[in-house]
Structure 1
Amino acid sequence: MCGRFSQTQSAEVIAQAFQIAEVPPLTPRYNIAPTQSVGTILQTPEQQQRQFRMLRWGLIPSWAKDAKIGARLINARTETVAEKPAFRSAFKRRRCLVIADGFYEWQKHEGKKQKQPFYFRLKDEQPFAFAGLWEHWQDADGSEVESCTILTTEPNNLTRPIHNRMPVIIEPKDYPLWLDSEVKKSELLQPLLHPYPPEEMIVYPVSKVVNKASNDSAECVERI
């Protein structure tokens, strides 16, 4: 699964990387956790140009009776996303890019209680995008929440020794197809959902300070 990630790039860098006209000022975030707001890019049928939008991490299906279900739906498996009731509608119509510049996974060591966190990022240190889905939910009292989930797939050779899943990173050339709400066929979308090339990534161990979601400083991403 993907349970923590970072996004420390400026609004100007994000706007240039994802070809967005307007991105609000952004605060560097080193330890983004489920149920928090995350920066995303989406494209609606009503407005075909890319939009930056903050969404709550943890997808709340439109039919859900309680928003709490979102805490359990922070990830969607690529193998079943097209069929699962919680995700299939969003997979067809509401896909997004979740902006990041690194993510964490934890490795279990035999005989030790605590897992060792590792930080993954691209070698060029540039921002990238997880494959995401988004949803609009309205409570009985009229309040509304826009939320998202991150897709995961089989690990690449860099991730495999540490974890058995990894988040899907969409390649820039595939952004237009992934964001196009007119494209609904799974056979056109599934080829985009592959493990990212390991030779373009690096990984290193980081401090267990990242284990606590309230810790959100540059110390989280520092190599130990």
Structure 2
Amino acid sequence: MKVLGILPIKKHVIQFFIGFLFIVVLSVLWIYIETLVKSVIWEQKPIDYRLIYKALMYHLKSALTEDLVFRGAILYILINRLGAKWAIFISASFFGVYHVFSYGITGGAIIPILYVITVTGFAGYVWACVFEKTKSIALGLGLHLGINLVRVCFYPSQPYGELLVKEISKVNFSEWNELYFVLIKGLFPSVVTLIFLKLLLKSYFKFFKNN
């Protein structure tokens, strides 16, 4: 538990909430951009606090499990044996491929599969970099949980989705423009997060890194 940086000490708690709050704000910002660009019309749904609580517990367990597997013990061992560069690449690659199976699209078209591997794999890369720099899964866990919760509040998802609003209508782009837009949508949070974290870790490295 100590080597994974999961103990609920003050530093880890602060790291978790910094990651959580940052990605929530960033995700909501993207939804606002998408609403403007695609003229999305949303319909507010009645708030079901019980359902929101269930979704929170589900995604907390899911994010924690995935982080312990892909950015926990395995990544820690790989870093010690192969070095950070290869360890992070392997962790991110497996994380991307894992989502092809978890989303149940193994028998689907190649473009959606490549999209899922690219988007989730790059997110896994960012979160693995966070673990390597901070020696803790706390910050990455906050990012992981935050982005998942925002998505299920606005978009369809299983087993929980569209918890707060439902999309009624939007402008449809041409096939290729839609592909580009969806790719930007998928990579935007991870790219901005990577830039933010590089600046954050550079400025406050002594605080975020465990001794």
More helix by share: 2
| Higher relative contact order (Cα pairs below 8 Å, separated by 6+ residues) | 2
TM-score by length of 1: 0.26
More strand by share: 1
